[in-house]
Chains A and B, each alone.
Chain A
Amino acid sequence: MKIVAVTACPTGIAHTYMAAARLEKIAKNLGHEIKVETQGAMGVENKLTENDIRRAQIVIFAVDIEVEGRERFNGVKVIQVSLQEALKNPEGIFAKIQR
């Protein structure tokens, strides 16, 4: 499955990037293709292009704050979870997707 994700937390220094790494790792293990945009204190990094979003079957928002540019994802199926969940139980998120 082709997946895109956005991670963001209020401080945007550690958890944003840890969650991104977790999601990437688990997705790869499960054989998904994933690209994760981080919205941290440095601003938006690894920005999802229009093409990335159009091709994606699902978007994961692992965020504790509002997603920047949410309108970009209009028309794509979205699953929103807290950042904690992405850190503690990323497998659960992917299990939810596959159902």
Chain B
Amino acid sequence: MLELLTNLRKHLLTGVSFAIPFIACGGMLIAFAIAFAPMTPAGPDFSHTPRLKLLWDIGTLSLTLMLPVLAGYISYSIAGKPGLLPGFLGGYLSAEIQAGFLGAMLVGLLAGYLVEALKKVPVSKHLRPIMPILVIPIVSGALIGVLMIKVLGGPIALLMEHGTSALRSMSTGNNVVLALLLGAMIAFDMGGPVNKTAFFFGAAMIREGNYQVMGACAAAICTPPLGMGLATLLRKNLWSTEEREAGLAGIVMGLIGITEGAIPFAAADPLRVIPSIMAGSAVAAVVAMVGGVGDHAPHGGPVVLPVVDHRLMYVFAILTGTLVTAILTVLLKARAQKMTERRDEAA
């Protein structure tokens, strides 16, 4: 069991290590474009700056490619060369059906183990040469594709639809509970269906003249990467060099409101990182809601300050959420490290 988990972690980390440059390039280019474009109620305005729009488009493409790369190399780590095809396909479809990085991680693991199983199917010696070039790619690609579109795609679309109407019915009730939920949702899958549901809801409320819902979302959007960045600065010895660099990039992305900056951490250690960033974002959202923060743009992070009401409270909400995420992560990581040390001593 322990061996299986260690292997699982190794495969996930392999995928993450290939995906990090895509997140860095995409996140940074988008961040740069947003930082220099005027922020308007309709989001960043690129109409007078085609060059920034170009950077934005390239950055978006890089982030989109991140999902196939993540899934592809998780699968590659498990099954070698033949694992790459179903992993890439599944990751691309994960972007198509809005399954986000959690969907990509899941499909990467599935694709890898599927190919491993297919490799073990006994075939006659004459068929063996066509297994890796024909049989395995076609069978694994078709199976993973059908799985993503037919099995996973439907429920995700349904989830988003029902999530939106559930949020709408909640918006007439207790605002603090709504903010808590929205904040946790924003951080949960960072660009996946749960995050998108919360974000689109906030954006839709802007059009209806309710700016506070987006205000809560905007604070929650930036605390995952900011919190992870701060965590890497607080306790340097808990992190690898690669992670510390990703932490710095995370801070820049956080400032511009790009939640994806925390994905390298969440994908490498989901069970500890995702709860921490959810808690931080939930706190940030609640503080923003209670403080009456309103956001007039469908975007988050400190970069939207010019179109935010109650700016001081907004900054305070972001700082609080960032601290919560950073401290929780450091505590959980330190505890995990101590436990591993103890186990090593016992062994």
Contacts and interface: CB of A to CB of B under 8 A. Distances in A.
Interface residues of B, number: 10
B289 to A, nearest CB: 51
B79 A43 contact: yes
Interface string B116-142: 000100000000010111000000000
A41 interface: yes
B81 A42 contact: yes
The interface size bin for chain A is under 10
A97 interface: no
B82 interface: yes
Most buried by B among A12, A42, A44: A42
B83 A43 contact: yes
A43 B132 CA distance: 9
Contacts of B133: 11, 13, 41
A13 B79 CA distance: 16
Contacts of B80: 42-44
Interface string A42-71: 111000000000000000000000000000
A14 interface: yes
Contacts of A40: 81, 132
Contacts of B132: 12-13, 40-42
B129 A42 contact: no
A88 B232 CA distance: 55
15 contacts: A13-B129, A13-B132, A13-B133, A40-B81, A40-B132, A41-B132, A41-B133, A42-B81, A42-B82, A42-B132, A43-B79, A43-B80, A43-B81, A43-B83, A44-B80
Given A40-B81, A42-B132, 19 more contacts: A12-B81, A12-B132, A13-B129, A13-B132, A13-B133, A14-B129, A40-B132, A41-B81, A41-B132, A41-B133, A42-B81, A42-B82, A42-B119, A42-B131, A43-B79, A43-B82, A43-B83, A43-B119, A44-B80
